[in-house]
C-alpha cells in the first residue's frame, strides 16, 4: 500500500523497488509503466513525472497497451457490485455517483459494458472523476461509433487522466504543481 502523501524529492531518491511500491497504484494491473519510468528520475515537477509515466505507456507496443486497458474494471461491473475494486477505483466510481444507482441504471450499465466489450474486446475506460453517470452513459453511446484504434487512443488518454488524479492524491500538497 503506497504512502498517503509523499514528496517529489523523496520519490527522486527512491530505489526502483520503493518507487514501484509507492507509485504502482497509479495504474491498474502490473506496474510495468512505473518500473520503466523510474529510469527518468529526477523529476522536477509532478507534471514532468506524469509525462514520463505517460511516455512509457504511449511508447509501449499496442498489445501491451491493450493489456493495460484490459486491466481496468467495468464501470458498475461485477467487481464494483461485489466490492472487490481497488480502493482507488472504488473511490473514483463513487465520486461519479456510480455506487448509488437504481436497479434499472445498473442494468443499463451492464448492457453498455457488454456491447462495448463485444465491439472492442476491452472494457470502456473513462476518467470517472471528470464525469457523472449521465456523461458516462453518453460517452458509451458516442464512443461505440469509434474505430478500435480510436478507442485504444481514447482509453489511453483516459488512463493518463486517471493517473494524473491518482498522482495528485499521492503527492504531498506542497508538490502539487
The residues annotated with a catalytic role in the active site are 72
Residue 59 CB coordination number (10 Å): 10
d(CA 110, CA 42): 43
Residue pair 7/174 in contact by the 8 Å Cβ criterion: yes
Supply the Cα-derived Rg of the chain in whole angstroms: 17
Residue pair 29/165 in contact by the 8 Å Cβ criterion: no
DSSP type of residue 124: -
Apex CA 69: angle with CA 14 and CA 109, to 5°? 125
Amino acid at each position: 500500500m503506497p504512502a498517503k502523501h509523499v514528496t517529489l524529492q523523496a520519490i527522486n531518491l527512491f530505489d526502483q523497488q520503493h518507487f514501484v511500491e509507492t507509485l504502482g497504484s497509479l495504474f491498474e494491473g502490473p506496474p510495468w509503466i512505473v518500473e520503466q519510468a523510474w529510469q527518468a528520475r529526477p523529476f522536477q515537477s509532478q507534471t514532468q513525472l506524469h509525462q514520463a509515466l505517460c511516455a512509457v505507456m504511449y511508447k509501449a507496443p499496442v498489445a501491451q497497451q491493450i493489456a493495460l486497458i484490459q486491466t481496468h474494471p467495468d464501470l458498475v461491473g461485477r467487481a464494483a457490485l461485489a466490492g472487490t475494486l481497488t480502493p482507488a477505483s472504488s473511490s473514483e466510481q463513487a465520486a461519479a455517483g456510480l455506487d448509488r444507482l437504481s436497479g434499472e441504471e445498473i442494468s443499463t450499465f451492464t448492457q453498455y459494458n457488454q456491447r462495448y466489450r463485444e465491439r472492442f474486446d476491452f472494457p470502456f475506460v473513462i476518467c470517472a472523476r471528470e464525469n457523472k453517470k449521465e456523461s458516462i452513459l453518453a460517452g458509451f453511446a458516442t464512443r461505440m461509433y469509434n474505430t478500435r484504434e480510436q478507442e485504444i487512443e481514447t482509453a489511453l488518454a483516459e488512463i493518463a487522466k486517471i493517473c494524473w488524479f491518482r498522482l495528485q492524491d499521492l503527492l504531498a500538497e506542497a508538490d502539487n504543481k
